[in-house]
Amino acid sequence: MLTTRYVPGSPNWADLATPDIEGAKTFYGGVLGWNHVSAGPEFGGYGMFQLDGKTVAGAMQLPAEQAPPSWTLYFQTADATATSTAVKDNGGTVVNEPMDVEDLGRMTLCADPAGAGFAAWQPGKNTGLEATDAPGTLCWAELSTPDAAAATGFYGSVFGWGTTSMPMPGGGGDYIMVHPEGRGPDGMFAGIVPTAADPAPATTGPNWLLYFGTADCDAAVADADRLGGTTVLEPRDIEGVGRFAVLTDPYGARFALMQGIAQDA
């Protein structure tokens, strides 16, 4: 499961690029209960979404021509420069070379060989998100890719991930679940699904989809629709897991909601 006990290779940050930060505040506040706190003028308009006083995501206003509205998932690294080298050596692309973010940490923005974007974060004073795996927080991630085996090899080489596979419902191939090196299946934090078997493939190609927890998936989807979002995949159940839906915010950033079975009690 995704936790804030971050280890190398685990997700430790997520942020939103949006052309309208004020509109994003209204939307995510209404759907997930978030408020927004600026990081200060020295960070160029970057800020944090918070829930109950804990940081659950970052956000920055960027013109659509500079960056498409989207969510980016960050994975922990002890050395951002070494990670960027590993990305290149294994067929990926480094979009932004490693850079320091004041004394908060060091980051690099990358894409895997199929083109799915992600980032790596080397913690400094900012050790990562302060809450996960609960309603209103990041609880899962999923890579949609044309070649799941190739993706598994790439991320395994870059981050050392281990894997566990299970058959996809309806015989659509295997769903590959990943966990940090040295952790067992109890450390799973993401899945890899072949695009051909993805029930809601993105029109923009291979991508990482971020799931945020909710206590009531249907109610959250209704809130999103009311606030200008678009439902890409209507709420549906996954036996033994919970109920989920895929949406875009009013500006086109794609994300998912998950009402886990454990949250129903």
pLDDT 10s digits, 198-247: 888 888 899 999 999 999 999 999 999 999 999 999 999 988 889 999 99
Structural tokens at position 32: 């997930």
Q: Which amino acid is at 53?
A: G
Q: What is the DSSP letter of 161?
A: -
pLDDT digit string (tens) for 39-77?
Answer: 877 777 899 999 999 999 999 999 878 889 999 999 999
Residue closest to 176 by CA, chosen among 151, 157, 211:
151
Burial class of 182 by CB neighbour count within 10 A (0 to 12, 13 to 18, 19+): exposed
Q: Which two tokens stand for residue 140?
A: 């899962």
d(CA 168, CA 227): 33
pLDDT band at 1 (very low <50, low <70, confident <90, very high): confident
How far apart, in whole angstroms, are the C-alpha atoms of residue 177 and residue 166?
Answer: 8
Does 173 or 90 have the greater pLDDT score? 90
208: its two tokens: 């990482």
| Domains of the chain, first to last | 1-265 (3.10.180.10)
What pLDDT was estimated at residue 262? Answer: 59
Per residue in 135-192, pLDDT tens?
Answer: 999 999 999 999 999 999 999 999 999 999 888 766 667 889 999 988 877 889 999 9
Q: At 160, is the secondary structure helix, strand, or coil?
A: coil
3-state class (DSSP) for residue 81: helix
Which is more confident, 28 or 64?
28
0.85 surpassed by pTM = yes
d(CA 46, CA 57): 11
* Measured distance CA(235)–CA(254) in Å, rounded: 15
The pLDDT confidence band at residue 263, using thresholds 50, 70 and 90, is very low
| Token pair of 148 as six digits | 């799941």
Largest CA-CA distance found in the chain, in angstroms, rounded: 52
* 119 φ, ψ (degrees, to nearest 5): -140, 165
